Structure 1
Amino acid sequence: MIIDAHNHPDWLGHSFECFVANMDEHGISRTWLFSWEVPPDEYDPIYCRTSLTDDTGPIPFAGCLRYKERAPERFVLGYAPDPRRPDA
């Protein structure tokens, strides 16, 4: 069993289908999916435009949940809030 220990949903514009196909191509059984939440002034929106974006930062946890809901056996979720945020 191969486990990808760090990845993000929709990274570099890959759709769910492309993401899972890539996992299959490389024999990856499970992937840890992490959110990436940072203050707006600490990431470059141009760099992140290929990722899922909203007001919580480049990759909100909701993106991870979408993947998990579609293939629960393939994904383990990780939440990575900015520890400086009061709601972290």
Structure 2
Amino acid sequence: MKVFWWLGKLLTLLFWLVVLANLLMPFVYPLHLLVNVAGSLLAGLHLLEAVFCFRSLRGRAHPWRDRLKILFFGVYHLQTIPAPTVSKASHA
């Protein structure tokens, strides 16, 4: 499963490089608009993921680094974060 998450991170990074290349030197007419729209949508989704996971990352050693990685990689970074261990819950 780790290979899948690392491959997802690699492909996401390549996508961001394509978006950056498109911003520096726009592609041909219909393609540059599609890349801009896709990049904007993905950035918006990753921003929502970072906002929704804001509280759950508070106990981490470097929560802001995790939030930045969520902005870049989205769910692929979220899946690599180990689940918090729950101590004995007190039931009332």
Same fold (TM over 0.5): no
| Bigger strand share | 1
| Bigger helix share | 2
| TM-score (normalizing by structure 1) | 0.29
**Structure having the higher Rg:** 2
